[in-house]
Amino acid sequence: MPDRVSEALARLALVEPALCAFHEVFDTFAPVGSPLPFAGMPIAVKRGERRSHRDALVAMGCVPIGLTTTPDGSTPWQMWGRNSRGLTRNPWNLDRTPGGSSAGSAVAVASGVVPLATGVDGAGSIRIPAAWCGVFGLKTTSAERAAVGVFTRDPALLATYLGVTEVSSPTAVWSTDLGFAEVDDEQASIAWRAAAPLSPRPVSLVLGDPAADWFAGRCGPNPALDSVFETADLLLTPTTPGPPHGHDGPGARMNTALTWAFNLSGHPAISIPAGFDSDGLPVGLQAVARHGREADLVAAALLTSNAVEVAPWPP
């Protein structure tokens, strides 16, 4: 067994009893040839994800060590992962949710089990758990509401994953609330400070609450967003309107308020670790780019990463 896989499994055994991030842990691992971009790197795979995405990462040299937890249908809120031992828990506070539905993948990366994990983002279900677990969470451009992507603590891995070889200096604009969301002041101020290396200029943007379009299944171009991307490479916002809630549910708050518009429009987006709130819980900065311009998201991740420490949760 490769040393890196052995190390990942040892870390998993240490943290899994508390975090419940894995649905299944594999017991056999195929040998990996070299040279490959990710030769021998252990990864976690979201349960139920498209096989083609997993296969693409395996072709790059990744070694899947297991399937991560997702919601099991026991709650109407798609915010939890669960396995046979219990709820998936936020590494920074076990009494809080890690977000969902790619809960286990975010926790596997945040707790230092693997350097990379896969996810699927249907309404923010990569970006929200990334924000609440303090890691990078990228969703790719998609013509459908759900888009594949990855979690990592190392933004350089995002460049390798996407095949980005040159990083530009993108221009950026900032919107605290997209014109409609109710965002906590602390979330906004922490995200704004983290955005400083990108020198964003505030923009008056009114998208309109996408809830009606979401539930009606209406996807497609958004004129307000098209207008923004005529003048800037990136749109920056807080990732979530508030901090991770307890395992009893989000109440009336719509945690997807700042994320799901970009599933409807198909734009690629990333949650970047922005720091910690007054309760010691992670906060995310969201960056959204033009269709097919994931390279600008990598640039945003690299430019802001030096300003915020991304540390694994110590058991």
Ranges of H-type helices in 183-305: 185-194, 211-216, 223-228, 261-265, 294-305
Please determine, for residue 216, whether its predicted confidence score (pLDDT) is greater than 90. Answer: no
Please name the amino acid found at residue 244.
P
- The residues annotated with a catalytic role in the active site are 46, 101, 125
pLDDT at 12: 96
DSSP 186-218: HHHHHHHHHTGGG--EE-------THHHHHHT-
**Domains by residue range for the chain, with CATH:** 3-162 (3.90.1300.10), 172-305 (no CATH)
Residue 199: other Cβ atoms inside 10 A: 11
Identify the band that residue 19 occupies on the pLDDT scale cut at 50, 70 and 90.
very high
Please determine, for residue 242, whether its predicted confidence score (pLDDT) is greater than 90. Answer: yes
DSSP 307: T
Q: pLDDT tens digits for 69-111?
A: 988 766 555 557 778 888 999 999 999 999 988 999 999 999 9
Q: Answer positive or negative: Cα dihedral of 299, 302, 308, 78.
A: positive
